[in-house]
């Protein structure tokens, strides 16, 4: 993000805006500005650390106390032309007395500045989270193909979100590797600094996309839960789904275009010092991130009334707690990411903090993917090993035959037996066992003989048919 470029071109911020500092009367911001100004201007030294550029220029100024022409300064710095030196003046680096003083202060302060190296944790976090997410998505696809015979629209949205999350993680690793030698601006070369800004901008542009697809996948899943809600609450639930989708779509689009258009030129990192950035993208992203935290909470809370009203066994309740616990953890990670964005930028201590943002973003995205896949994984367990979840024991131990008899007595609509395949198919689709809960229809539509996932309407069969009993196994 062009937070430094915005600070350089904003009328509210300039060199020595407070007139004080610990480095020979200069503040840390002055030290940062000087390194970036001189590092950018010294085109023939773009591969050298900016601290060496500053030290070399300070030595030149100390040996030449008289008035210097722009041509002499350009030659000493290794600038491409005199215009680059004139750009320094426009940016506030001159008058001559100030330029000499701040350059000398930067060179003298270098031993006292922190010189940290980067971390390889981004790759580790990405590898672990991606591996778990691959298993979760694979089980989800298996569940849909084996039990429902096809992938549904929410599955496709999640798959797209997963692929975009992988792309985000790979770019985040490339970005983090650039910072392995150094994370402070004065220890970087201008070329490295410019590349980190480019990759950070790409990450900021990509991030809203996987989040949009993952959250939309959840909302589409919730939309299929609507028939399970009592009729008086169904319209409220549907309305909340569409309102939440509108907020997610709006924030994703705004976030993308704010990052893309924050400066006069999109590739601001190529000439950050002389590129005007009239929009403080960081503050806008903080506001959008706050809205994102709110939508995360809404997505987490929306299905809770339905889940808590279901007559679930102890193991199923425990699994539900784990699933929603992961959802709550995703909300917490989203809040920490928001805090990391607030701290982002070189102006605080000259360090690159965007690696922290990348790590938290990766965790947030993959936790959301894992949580979104939990219902489909549960349906797979119901099909192959129902006793793992104790589905025949929502409140007390029961035999399989007793459970079937109970289902026969409760799974009726308008005085007629409802097909077992209806309830079983609906359980496969939504991953929630709604058959034991009073007040909830056994199948979508309150008992209508429509079987979703099988391509149309089938005639109702007796509940106790062999096919129906096999579905319960």
pLDDT digits (tens, 9 = 90+) for 126-145: 999 999 999 999 999 988 88
Nearest-angstrom CA–CA distance, 21 and 30: 9
Q: Which residue from 206, 205, 162 is spatially nearest to 368, judged by alpha carbons?
A: 162
The CA distance from 441 to 452, in Å, is: 14
Give the three-state DSSP class for 107.
Answer: helix
pLDDT tens digits, residue range 158-188? Answer: 999 999 999 999 999 999 999 888 888 889 9
- Both tokens of 236, joined, read 């409220």
Whole-angstrom distance, CA of residue 233 vs CA of residue 225: 12
Render pLDDT for 369-401 as a digit per residue (tens, 0 to 9).
998 888 888 778 777 877 766 554 444 444 444
Q: What's the confidence (pLDDT) of residue 10?
A: 46
Could you tell me if 63 and 139 are in contact, meaning their C-beta atoms sit under 8 angstroms apart? no
Asked if residues 422 and 449 have their Cβ atoms less than 8 Å apart, the reply is yes
Class in CATH terms, 121-387: mainly alpha
Please state the rounded mean pLDDT for residues 221-227. Answer: 81
Mean pLDDT of 298-303: 82
Averaged confidence pLDDT in the chain: 74
Residue 301's Cβ-count burial label (10 Å; 0-12, 13-18, 19+) is middle
Q: How far apart are CA 453 and CA 456, in angstroms?
A: 8
Confidence of residue 229 (pLDDT cuts 50, 70, 90): low
Output the six-digit token pair for 174. Answer: 């490339």
Q: Which residues does 191 contact at the CB level (< 8 Å), separation at least 6?
A: 46, 47
High-pLDDT (> 90) share of the chain, %: 21
**Statement: residue 357 has pLDDT above 80:** yes
Are 130 and 166 in contact, with CB atoms under 8 Å apart? yes
Q: Where are the domains of the chain?
A: 3-112, 121-387, 400-472
For residue 20, the Cα-to-chain-centroid distance in whole angstroms is 38
Distances (CA, A) of 403 to 246, 292, 424, 444, 460: 42, 43, 14, 22, 21
How many other β-carbons are positioned within 10 Å of the β-carbon of residue 310?
Answer: 18
Phi, psi at residue 450, to the nearest 5°? -95, 125
Q: Give the per-residue pLDDT at 442.
A: 38
Long-range contact set of residues 52-58: C-beta below 8 Å, sequence gap at least 24? 53/77, 54/103, 54/106, 54/107, 54/110, 54/186, 55/107, 55/110, 57/103, 58/103, 58/104, 58/106, 58/107
More confident residue, 218 or 402: 218
pTM: 0.76
Per-residue model confidence (pLDDT) at position 55: 92
State both tokens at 418.
């409802």
| pLDDT > 70 in the chain, percent | 69
Burial class (CB within 10 angstroms; exposed 0-12, middle 13-18, buried 19+) of 52 = middle
Q: Give, for 440, the enclosing helix (H) or strand (E).
A: none
CA dist 363 and 374 (Å) reads 17
Q: What is the pLDDT of residues 50-102, one digit of tens each?
A: 999 999 999 998 888 878 888 888 888 888 888 888 777 766 666 677 788 88
CA 103, 66, 69, 11 torsion-angle sign: positive
- CA count, 13 A, side-chain hemisphere, 46: 13
In sequence order, the 6+-apart residues with CB closer than 8 A to the CB of 401 are none
| Residue 345 pLDDT exceeds 70 | no
């Amino acid at each position: 993000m062009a937070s430094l470029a915005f600070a350089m071109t904003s009328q509210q911020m300039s060199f020595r805006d407070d007139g004080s500092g610990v480095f020979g009367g200069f503040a840390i911001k002055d030290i940062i500005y000087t390194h970036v100004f001189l590092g950018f201007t010294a085109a023939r030294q773009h591969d050298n650390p900016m601290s060496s550029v500053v030290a070399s220029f300070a030595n030149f100024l100390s040996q030449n106390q008289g008035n210097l022409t722009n041509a002499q300064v350009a030659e000493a710095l290794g600038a491409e032309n005199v215009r680059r030196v004139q750009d320094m003046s426009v940016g506030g680096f001159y008058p001559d007395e100030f330029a000499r003083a701040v350059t000398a202060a930067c060179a003298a302060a270098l031993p006292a500045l922190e010189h940290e190296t980067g971390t390889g944790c981004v790759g580790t976090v990405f590898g672990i989270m991606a591996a778990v997410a691959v298993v979760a998505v694979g089980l989800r696809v298996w569940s849909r193909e084996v039990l429902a015979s096809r992938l549904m629209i929410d599955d496709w949205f999640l798959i797209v979100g997963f692929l975009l999350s992988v792309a985000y993680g790979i770019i985040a690793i490339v970005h983090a590797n650039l910072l392995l030698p150094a994370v402070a601006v004065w220890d970087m070369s201008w070329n490295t600094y410019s590349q980190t800004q480019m990759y950070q901008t790409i990450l900021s542009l990509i991030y809203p996309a996987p989040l949009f697809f993952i959250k939309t996948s959840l909302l589409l899943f919730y939309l299929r839960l609507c028939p399970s809600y009592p009729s008086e609450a169904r319209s409220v639930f549907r309305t909340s789904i569409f309102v939440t989708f509108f907020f997610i779509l709006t924030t994703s689009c705004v976030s993308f275009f704010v990052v893309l258009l924050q400066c006069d030129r999109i590739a601001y990192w190529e000439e950050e010092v002389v590129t005007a950035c009239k929009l403080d993208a960081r503050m806008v992203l903080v506001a959008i991130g706050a809205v994102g935290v709110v939508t995360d909470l809404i997505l987490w809370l929306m299905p809770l009334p339905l889940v808590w009203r279901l007559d679930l066994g102890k193991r199923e309740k425990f699994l539900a707690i784990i699933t929603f616990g992961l959802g709550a953890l995703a909300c917490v990670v989203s809040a920490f990411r928001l805090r990391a964005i607030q701290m982002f930028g070189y102006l605080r201590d000259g360090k690159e903090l965007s690696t922290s943002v990348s790590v938290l973003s990766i965790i947030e995205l993959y936790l959301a993917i894992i949580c979104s896949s939990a219902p489909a994984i549960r349906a797979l367990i119901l099909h192959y090993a129902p006793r793992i979840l104790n589905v025949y024991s929502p409140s007390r131990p029961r035999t399989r035959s007793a459970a079937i008899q109970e289902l026969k007595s409760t799974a009726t609509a308008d005085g007629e037996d409802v097909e077992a395949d209806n309830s079983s198919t609906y359980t496969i689709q939504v991953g929630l066992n709604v058959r034991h809960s009073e007040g909830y229809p056994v199948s979508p539509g309150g008992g209508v003989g429509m079987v979703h996932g099988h391509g149309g309407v089938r005639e109702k069969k007796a509940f106790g048919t062999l096919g129906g009993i096999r579905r319960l196994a």
